[in-house]
Chain A
Amino acid sequence: MSKAVIEVSGLHKVYEGAVPVKAVNGIDLTITEGEFTALKGPSGCGKTTLLNLLGGLDQPTSGSILIDGTDITALSDNELIDFRLHNIGFVFQAYNLIPVLSATENVSFIMLLQDRPKEERLVRAEQLLKAVGLEGKEDKRPGQLSGGQQQRVAVARALASKPKFVLADEPTANLDSESTSKLLDIMEQLNAQENMTFVFATHDDRVIAKAKRVVSISDGKVISDTAK
């Protein structure tokens, strides 16, 4: 049996205001190593909030989040930043690459933050860029790459830190069909070959179709959880 990478129980996130908004309203969820999971649901259902909570970018109002056995809700700000650096990979909707750095430099930058040696950074960055099909584009800056290529650099960057899992928030939202298909193939391949755990927040049917497990969320609650 695969080991649980993410264990969420009784998770609530309430945004206070004139009318408090229950963005996450009592979610229990376990994601095991090597899963390829899509969190689906309409805009405003709470899937991005859940993803942010899983990534330690936001603090829950109540409940616990265990990542590989560590309760990240108990970590201080600085501990959380360090935890993210070594355990979680992020892929954002808008790629969010550093425009002044080449593809290789963008991928190696995160390893620099981990204080890894230069040689190791370069070798791993080249390997990852090759794995996402960007061989020959290593020296290109984000502005010289298409949206799909940029998102593949972002995937390589997410994997560079050797995380326990990758969280991807609407990774295909800005991509055309061909780029989406290529990106999904690459992520599927990395999942299959390297047993890398992927969790997507998406409402893109193409991503949902590829996912091995689909968790449907509505009004901050899990309404269905289907494994294929």
Chain B
Amino acid sequence: MIFKVAWRNIWRSRIRSIIVLSSIAIGIWAGLLIIGFSFGMNNERTAAAIGATLGHSQAHSSDFLEDPSPSAIIAPEAYENLVAALEAQSFVTGYAPRTMLQGMVASAKQTRASRIIGVNAESERANTTIATYMLEGDFFETRVRKGVVISEKLAEKMGLGMKKKMVLTFQDHNGVIHKASFRVSGIYRTLNAAWDELNIYVQQKDVERIIGTSLIHEVLISYDKSEDTEEKTAAISANVALPTVITSWKQNSPELGFADDMMGIMLVLVLGIIMLALLFGIINNMLMAVLERRRELGMLMAVGMNKRKLFFMILIETLMLGLVAGPIGIVLGDLSVRAMMEVGLDLSTKKDGLAELGMQSTIYPEIVPEYYVIIAVMVIMTALIAALFPAYKALKLNPVRAIRGN
């Protein structure tokens, strides 16, 4: 009957209860949308970075991780061992060796520092999505000697276009400086503006011809699924001897890894702030309910309702607010996220800013089931905490005075 009393008490002040229930439901709805969009944005950004440039994991010589100099190569024997280790794992779907050189690129207009990535075009196309980001030309599909693929941003800054000449200057593993002219054979634009500005692609075989030998500094590794990257990385590492080191995308792009790790904490903080606002709303509502019912509560104490039962009654009443509004908010939030998954949130007016952060202009939210549980627990906790002060006030009532309405 205590539950029945609590339920009916909620509806004694219908408008007030509807307002507080709505605020709880809207708070949860907003929380779920924030979670959905945050995960959508982050996962999209991460997936794009992994797909286009990072790969799930990468292999380097340990020297390269400390100082990415041209001499920090994966030696031919170590490369063979690495390939054997990769091919032994069923979850490895492919790999792409890269030559990584720091150098200068010059056009008629200006000279800039750049990272020159020498690729095996076929394996790069097979293991990354870079070819899908081409705006002009292609990613070394058309046979071209000494072609270079640069970003749209770099092309604009350096005043370059298709088939225009640019001069690359770089140092080889022996410290010898080479200078060679290339022609723009493709222009790309990934979602990551910072990557685009720094990196240009050439074919490994062209680099080989210039410096006279094959150099491998980095091997991009692709997995069948993005889940458990750390475990998969560790599994390969176990079969690879030093100085070759396997690192996951989180280690290779610490800012992306940090964003991924921090997002959970940030979202719980955001939910905490929402719950804090709700907490005061619920306390206010329940405090009014208790003070309005002083006579009744005084009577109950007089006739023999003990403090434990009185506390429990207020607690149940407060909890019911959360239990009614919580599911409504979760259902509304879930429906809204599902609807937005279809249409997305168009932020094309902020396109350039989003591109700087490696994001697309239309954001699609994601459903993250574990956060539904977190929200449900937080709502219950909030209701329980909110019940404490009103229940304390009720327990402090003097029955004789309360019955008189004082």
Contacts and interface: CB of A to CB of B under 8 A. Distances in A.
A198 interface: no
A30 interface: no
Contact of A58 (B298, B303, B400): B400
A94 B295 contact: yes
A100 B307 contact: no
Contact of A112 (B1, B306, B307): B1
A86 B304 contact: yes
Contacts of A84: 302-304
Contacts, number: 66
Nearest to A95: B299
B5 interface: yes
Interface string A108-132: 1110111000000000000000000
Contact of A57 (B4, B9, B12, B400): B400
A157 B403 CA distance: 16
A101 B403 CA distance: 18
A55 B296 contact: no
Interface of B is mostly: helix
A90 B4 CA distance: 24
Contacts of A216: none
Contacts of B2: 112
B399 interface: yes
A52 to B, nearest CB: 5
Nearest to A121: B1
A58 B295 CA distance: 16
Contacts of B309: 113
B8 interface: yes
Given A84-B302, A98-B296, A92 B403 contact: yes
A133 B91 CA distance: 82
B400 A96 contact: no
Interface string A74-116: 0000100110111000101010101111000100111011100
A82 B12 contact: no
Nearest first, the 7 A-B pairs at minimum CB distance are A85-B304, A100-B8, A96-B299, A84-B304, A81-B306, A57-B400, A112-B1
